Amino acid sequence: MIKHILVPLDGSEYSEKALDVARELAQLAGAHVSLLTVILRFGAVLPSQWQLQESSQAHIRQYLHPIRERLAQQGLDVSAHVDFGNPADAIADFARQEGVDLIVMSTHGVGSRSNYALGSVALKVLQIAPCPVTMRRVVEPASHLRATGQERLGRSLSTAAGPESPV
């Protein structure tokens, strides 16, 4: 039985695509939903960096607040959390420590322009998560695909015509 769902969010529209899936599952199961944003931390933190981290944490809380409120208004029991560290490791650690039954996340987040089936964070979470992971596939809008195809065609024509030939 699913009692606790974790939704990692990185601030991108792509990562938020997982919210609909999590909402539906939580409503069906009566599960608690935890929203988690991880702020990447590089190495040791110098005293001057504490202020920057506190500012980042406040900014992330401002980002998470309306999402949490919207889900709460839809009848869900929701909490929002901010953590520091490697995103995939922090997601898995949170799931382990908080007894999460299911992680619901998008296949891609901030680095969504990738041609890979899964983003690097999503792939690592799948490998190390202590519970099942449901992935919400992120699909680019058709307009983006057409533009990308046109750009590729333009580059191909330019290459075929030679560097000095107008296309």
Q: 159 Cβ partners below 8 Å, 6+ apart?
A: none
CA–CA distance, 114 with 160 (Å, rounded to integer)? 26
Find, among 95, 94, 36, the residue nearest to 67 by Cα: 36
CA–CA distance, 164 with 158 (Å, rounded to integer)? 9
Q: Are residues 144 and 107 in the same domain?
A: no
Q: Are residues 97 and 160 in the same domain?
A: no
Amino acid 119: pLDDT: 72
Q: Are residues 158 and 98 in the same domain?
A: no
Q: Are residues 90 and 147 in the same domain?
A: no
CA–CA distance, 99 with 6 (Å, rounded to integer)? 10
Residues 25-46: pLDDT tens digits? 999 999 999 999 998 876 555 5
pLDDT > 70 in the chain, percent: 68
What is the pLDDT confidence band of residue 166, given thresholds at 50, 70 and 90?
very low
Q: What is the mean pLDDT of residues 143-166?
A: 45
CA–CA distance, 81 with 83 (Å, rounded to integer)? 7
What is the domain count for the chain? 2
Q: Are residues 144 and 129 in the same domain?
A: no
Residues 93-126: pLDDT tens digits? 999 999 999 999 998 765 545 444 567 899 999 9
Q: What is the residue-averaged pLDDT of the chain?
A: 80
Find, among 3, 46, 55, the residue nearest to 26 by Cα: 3
Q: Please say if the pLDDT value at position 130 is more than 70.
A: yes
Of 24 and 112, the one with more pLDDT: 24
**Which H helix or E strand runs over 19?**
helix 18-29
Q: Are residues 106 and 149 in the same domain?
A: no
**Distance set, CA 15 to CA 40, 71, 156 (Å):** 16, 16, 33
In sequence order, the β-bridge partners of residue 131 are none
Amino acid 109: pLDDT: 64
Q: Are residues 27 and 78 in the same domain?
A: yes
Amino acid 48: pLDDT: 55
In sequence order, the β-bridge partners of residue 32 are 4, 77
Q: Are residues 132 and 147 in the same domain?
A: no
Confirm if 23 and 76 have CB atoms less than 8 A apart: yes
Q: Are residues 34 and 82 in the same domain?
A: yes
Structure tokens at 24: 């539906």
Amino acid 104: pLDDT: 98
User: Which domain does 153 fall in, by range?
Assistant: 140-167
Tell me the backbone φ, ψ of residue 83, rounded to 5 degrees.
Answer: -135, 165
Q: Are residues 84 and 161 in the same domain?
A: no
Q: Are residues 144 and 132 in the same domain?
A: no
